[in-house]
Amino acid sequence: MSDGALTALVLAGSRGPSDPVARHAGARHKAFVPVAGVPMLLRVVRTLVACPAVGRIALCLDGDAPFEAVPELATLAAAGRVVRVPSHGTPALSVRRALDSLDTPLLVATADHPLLTTAMVEHFCAAAPADADLTAAVASATLVRRAYPDAVRTYYRFAGEGYSGCNLFLLRTPAAGRAVDFWSRLERHRKRPWRLVSAVGPLTLLRFLLGRLTLEAALERLSAQTGARVRAVLMPFAEAAIDVDRPADLDLAEAILRRGA
């Protein structure tokens, strides 16, 4: 990617004080909870500002988010480097609506990833296949467990290896919107398992349950169903898979940052 070619969208919507991290910290918005003394949203923004490939940064925030309470964010907004876009209830719907006003290529990150580094973003952007409409960053279970054996992560088990998402996506072309629409439909049906089965196909689901579905085959199936070329980049950074979803994650992130990982 050439310098400044990417717009970065940071998903920072709130589930309110019911979010376990926000409740633990006594805050309303998880994105503004400090991690080692710095709001996690600000850590992500600082990383993106330092990336040569990233130009404008759009923050997807609720209307009552305490944006102005973080002077550094307000300064970046005044300089035109950071803009606000509204949150729309779910991550997929927020990305879909943002695509209506933001151009591709669009880099999507999340505010609850305080361990995100410039090296991670640069590696991901450089490794993303040029022919992919949408690329997702993943880390292997082997890598993450070797570095952080006590970390509780969600892994999707494919043939030979498990993978964890890294909350980093590159929407290279407008066709990526088709994959986002599919994601949005899955979000709506997350409490209706039979709908999920019909979405991915029973044979694909069976191969997955039997441990016979490779990650590559799953992405090919997803590409065929969405009409968008979906690919993955295997990240060499264990920390790329560690976001802050629970208080234990907050403790782990702070410990990693304090020892300079």
Structural contact between residues 15 and 22, judged by C-beta atoms closer than 8 angstroms = yes
β-bridge pairing 134-140 and 230-234 = parallel
- Count of Cβ atoms closer than 10 Å to residue 92 Cβ: 20
Q: What is the pLDDT of residue 207?
A: 63
pLDDT tens for 140-174 read: 999 999 999 988 888 888 888 889 999 999 999 99
Residue 34 tokens, joined: 């400090």
State the Cα–Cα distance between residues 125 and 106, nearest whole angstrom: 11
Report the Cα 130 to chain-centroid distance in Å: 20
Strands (E), 133-208: 134-140, 156-158, 161-171
pLDDT tens for 35-91 read: 999 999 999 999 999 999 999 999 998 877 888 888 999 999 999 999 999 888 888
Kindly indicate the confidence band of residue 194, based on its pLDDT and cuts at 50, 70 and 90.
Answer: very low
pTM over 0.75: yes
Domains (ranges, CATH) in the chain? Answer: 6-176+229-252 (3.90.550.10)
Q: What is the pLDDT of residue 2?
A: 63
- Assess whether pLDDT exceeds 90 at residue 254: yes
pLDDT tens for 95-145 read: 999 998 898 999 999 999 999 999 999 999 999 999 999 999 999 999 999
